[in-house]
A and B are shown apart, each in its own frame.
Chain A
Amino acid sequence: MADTPIPLEVRNIKKRFGDTEVLKGLSLTAQKGDVITLIGASGSGKSTFLRCMNLLEQPDEGELVVHGEQILFKETSKGREPADWKQVVRMRAKLSMVFQGFNLWAHMTLLENVIEAPVHVLGKPKKEAIAHARELLERVGLSARADAYPAQMSGGQQQRGAIARALAMDPEVMLFDEPTSALDPELVGDVLKVMRDLAAEGRTMIVVTHEMAFARDVSSQVIYLHEGRVEEAGAPADVLENPRSERLKQFLAPKH
């Protein structure tokens, strides 16, 4: 254990928006190669939980350990804040995120999007970054669109491009925030296929999703959240095939 630090450990995260507590003490440990899927109804806090992991949302309580490095917080008059933003920047570079709305930078071509953070955040030489980016675009099936702007691509292409952008950081953990929810049904398959390939090659991934087939086939662990708490967690065979709680049974029941 000591030689390879755990990619991501999250302990007892609590978060409130005004008077409502949306996360009521959530923990999670992502070992190398784990694929953890977070499922739950909308409003269950699964996206907020994911966004707390790279501090896009500031948790009010709890601990984060990224690749063995504990994130430091300080109390201010406005609530808890990271003590050292440089540390946050460093940890974010290790956790790359894929968003529901793709969020590619619109004024850059796809290739420029993919090399942007490696060159300007990690300080990678541009030539090397471009070579790496071309490989990644090839892998997600977008070699031909390297010079296209996001607005010129379909949603599915944009999302696969966003996955290439995330891979270009050589991240410890990839965070997926409902990556297929904004896509037309016929485009979902391509994106899921790329994600399955990533899981198969041993990427550590945390995925918020409504794609139950994906959760069942790919994850090492499924966490079902309800109102900011873990209702059930475990291997997909247990959680998805033999749900214990009435709520999860209902959640999984086919809808007509």
Chain B
Amino acid sequence: MESLMTWLEARLADNSIFTLQTLEYYGEGLTTTVQLVFLSLVIGLILAVPLAIGRGSKHRWISLPIFFYCYVFRGTPLLVQLYLIYYGVVFVEGIQETWLWVVLEKPFVPALIAFTLNTAAYTTEIFRGAIKSTARGEIEAARAYGMSQGLMLRRIVLPSAFRRALPAYGNEVIFMLHASAIASVVTIMDLTGAARFVYARYYAPFDAFLFVAAIYLCLTFAILYLFRYLEKRLLAHLKPASG
């Protein structure tokens, strides 16, 4: 560790922009971005499963509100949703007196809420499509073999739908990573926030933003690799026999 730092310091000695100080900004930005994206994806995913099931319900008072929620969150820009939640929350009567204010006052939680609601809406639609395209014959077989609705959902419909949804969901994850850049407009020091800070201080757009672009590329590569691995494992059943 020690020697690495001296090596890095030596490398950075004749560079006025990428000092240890600015690299630390980028490092913190990376942590914030990863936290924000990871948390919103996980919570969004957990929300999306029941929503996708409800979206396909034949009871209109279940499916209609979910349709409306998805329509609104997919039909408006994420930035507008973020503004509404971040700036709007202040005007909620009495919120400043509650314990909630401690977390809502800072931008991280409002951004997390906006991102979560947004990705949950997209993920709901992805899963709904996958659930709808479950082969009729497989559902019929599940019924004929005495499965209850719940068991059929748990054992047949959802496992097969999740697998089919995987490629589309991989895109959604990449989309969320890149959409998270707008967190910087509500003063969050995420990756893009760090880049903006460095740019503002040194007036060096190419250094600041190309560097951050490279970090996003690396993250995207990691996500692609992860999903390729998952698809290889979980979608093996869709590949015809090799020989």
Contacts and interface: CB of A to CB of B under 8 A. Distances in A.
Contacts of A89: 146-148
From DSSP, what is the main secondary structure of chain A's interface residues? loop
Interface of A: 54, 56, 85, 89-93, 95-97, 99, 101-109, 116-117, 120-121, 148-153, 165, 169
23 contacts: A56-B143, A89-B148, A90-B146, A92-B144, A92-B146, A93-B146, A97-B144, A99-B140, A103-B135, A104-B138, A106-B160, A106-B238, A109-B237, A120-B147, A120-B151, A149-B236, A149-B238, A150-B237, A151-B237, A151-B239, A152-B239, A152-B241, A169-B145
Given A103-B141, A120-B147, A152-B239, 20 more contacts: A54-B144, A56-B144, A92-B146, A96-B144, A97-B141, A99-B140, A99-B144, A103-B137, A107-B159, A116-B145, A117-B145, A117-B146, A120-B151, A121-B146, A121-B147, A148-B241, A151-B237, A151-B240, A152-B237, A169-B145
B163 interface: yes
A103 B143 contact: no
A54 B148 CA distance: 14
B146 to A, nearest CB: 4
Contacts of B141: 97, 99, 103-105
Interface of B: 135, 137-138, 140-148, 151, 155-156, 159-160, 163, 236-241
Nearest to A175: B144
Contacts of B241: 148, 152-153
Most chain-B Cβ atoms within 10 A of its Cβ — which of A95, A102, A120?
A120
A102 B140 CA distance: 11
B146 A106 contact: no
- Among A102, A107, A116, A148, the one with the most B-chain Cβ atoms within 10 Å of its Cβ is A107
A121 B145 contact: yes
A164 B237 CA distance: 19
A105 B148 contact: no
Contacts of B160: 105-107
Contacts of A104: 138, 141
A105 B240 contact: no
Nearest to A88: B146
Residue of B147, B159, B160, B163 contacting most chain A CB atoms (<10 Å): B147
B146 A149 contact: no
